Amino acid sequence: MTTTTFECRRPGALRLRTLGLATLPLVLAGCASLSGDGGFKPVQQAAEQHLGKTVQLVKSEADQDAVGVRVNELLSQPLSADAAVQIALLNNRGLQASFQELGIAEAELVQTSRLPNPGFSIAKLRRGDEREIERSFSFDLGHLIALPLTRQMETRRFAAVQRAVSLEMLSLAAESRKAFYVAVAAEQTARYMRDVRGTADAGAELAKRLAQAGNWTKLQQAREHGFFSEAVLNAARAEVARISTRERLTRLLGLWGQQTNFTLPDRLPDLPKEPQDRPDVEQQAIAQRLDIQAAKQQTEAMAKSLGLSKITRFVNVLDFSYRRNGSNELPRQTGYEVSFEIPIFDWGDARVAKAEAIYMQSVQRAAQVAVEARSEVREAYLGYRSSYDIARHYRDDVAPTAKRISDENVLRYNGMFISVFELLADARSQISAVNASIEALRDFWVAQADLDMALIGKPSLSGGTAPTTATGSAGPAH
């Protein structure tokens, strides 16, 4: 008898052990939990790898205070391009709002990975003197069957969100760098145009006195005054551009209050000795651009979604219930119940067709992203090389030539071979060359920022935004 009892219990123990091992992954899935960083680590790695900068997820007042201290440290010195980028990555509130998308996406992933909650019901029924207690324990089998594929799909979507947020972070860095160069160029131009206005003012005043003394005609005086009026307008336009570009930089950096009084350098950085040579620029872009990787992730997620739709078309609603009913007059009743929808009217073909269309849409969009990436990086590299050649031409030819002319005219003026007005006329002719030289150097640094961005994400290809100031058209007065 003892042996019989042992033999009857052993298979049951083995079955329970086997069932426990089989359900262990499901139990672990049911215990899926949120990570400590909210999926922020890939964004940090992208900032370090592509920018050499740090980013921080602000979750509390202490985090915000730490960011404020770091920002004030960077603002205590004249701003540089790298410092501007670092401030934007730490202090831009729009970027911080985008960082919260990671937490939302991770929460959805964890929620999807967890087992559905079981259901329990109890009923007490009464029929005359009969009392019946009905108990049931239910579980959504349809959700359980689809759980692995659903989790894979949400994992890919979460990775796509991480790439999208990383791309937004890199784009903000590129825009901040470009805004810095444009603002510095506008400051430099405005300062130069104020000097031009002062020179024009002195020339106009001298012409007025000479005219009053009868040594100049009214036409000659009008020419000098016309140049002065134009110089005043150009200085005003340059000041508007200076304020506008500075405010755009301020917005990107997320500055306000006393922080807006930051100091910019007096002039743009010098042109590098040689431009970057990138013969394989397209291959680099295809290999490392985050928007291409995000498009691939999205396409893979759509493929998984298509497979999921085909599986769940027949098990859209499938519940399993265990029942245990008790009565004071009848023996205990136990058993189970399985319920599901009968696919008479809706066989799920519409949902499958929709999933297939969405998948093909994702495939075509991914291909278009790759085509645009190749074109954008070629355009960015061409703009970079062209802007370098133009800036170098101004540095090596136009500016030195203008300086030689100015030096020669100063010598002629000192030798009393030309008048002061001829010397001023020569200064007027150099205005265009100086402004164009500043803008060419600005355009080069903006083009380099565009190229750097085009290699890792979608750039906003654009030249400098500061307007070109007009030059005086009045010729020399004699």
pLDDT in tens, 174-221: 999 999 999 999 999 999 899 888 877 877 777 778 778 777 777 777
Chain segment 372-421, per-residue pLDDT in tens: 899 999 999 999 999 999 999 998 988 788 777 766 666 665 666 656 55
Q: Where are the domains of the chain?
A: 32-454
pLDDT at 65: 93
Partners of residue 340 on adjacent β-strands = 318
C-alpha of 477 from chain center: 55
Q: What was the pLDDT predicted at 255?
A: 95
Cα 142 to its chain centre, rounded Å, is: 39
* Residue 424 Ramachandran class (φ > 0 left, ψ -120 to 50 alpha, else beta): alpha
Q: Around Cβ 341, how many Cβ atoms within 10 Å?
A: 13
Per-residue pLDDT of the chain (478 residues; tens, 9 = 90+): 333 333 333 444 444 444 444 454 454 444 566 666 778 888 999 999 999 999 999 988 999 999 999 999 999 999 999 999 999 999 999 999 999 888 888 888 787 777 777 877 887 777 777 777 777 777 676 667 767 767 777 777 888 888 889 999 999 999 999 999 999 999 999 998 998 888 778 777 777 787 787 777 777 778 777 778 888 898 999 999 999 999 999 999 999 999 999 999 999 999 999 998 888 889 888 888 888 888 887 777 777 666 655 544 444 444 445 555 555 555 665 665 555 555 555 455 677 777 778 778 878 888 888 888 999 999 999 999 999 999 999 989 887 887 777 666 666 656 666 565 566 666 666 788 888 999 999 999 999 999 999 998 888 886 544 444 444 433 444 4
Between helix 290-312 and helix 141-212 the angle, nearest 10°, is 150
**Mind spelling out the 3-state secondary structure of the chain?**
CHHHHHHHHHHHHHHHHHHHHHHHHHHHHHCCCCCCCCCCHHHHHHHHHHHCCCCCCCCCHHHHHHHHHHHHHHHCCCCCHHHHHHHHHHHCHHHHHHHHHHHHHHHHHHHHHCCCCCEEEEEEEEECCEEEEEEEEEEEHHHHHHHHHHHHHHHHHHHHHHHHHHHHHHHHHHHHHHHHHHHHHHHHHHHHHHHHHHHHHHHHHHHHHHHHCCCCCHHHHHHHHHHHHHHHHHHHHHHHHHHHHHHHHHHHHCCCHHHHHCCCCCCCCCCCCCCCCCCCHHHHHHHHCHHHHHHHHHHHHHHHHHHHHHHHCCCCCEEEEEEEEEECCCCCEEEEEEEECCCCCCCCHHHHHHHHHHHHHHHHHHHHHHHHHHHHHHHHHHHHHHHHHHHHHHHHHHHHHHHHHHHHHHHHHHCCCCCHHHHHHHHHHHHHHHHHHHHHHHHHHHHHHHHHHHCCCCCCCCCCCCCCCCCCCCCCCC
Q: How far apart are CA 467 and CA 239, in angstroms?
A: 11
Question: Among candidates 88, 110, 83, which has minimal Cα distance to 98?
Answer: 88
The pLDDT mean for the chain works out to 78
Q: Read off the amino acid at residue 443.
A: D
At 230-247, the pLDDT tens digits run 888 989 999 999 999 999
* CATH 1.20.1600.10 corresponds to the domain 32-454: yes
Q: What residue type is assigned to position 153 of the chain? A: M
pTM, full prediction: 0.75
Quote the pLDDT of residue 9. Answer: 38
Q: Which two tokens stand for residue 338?
A: 């399985």
Backbone angles phi, psi at 475, to 5 degrees: -80, 175
Supply the pLDDT for residue 164.
86
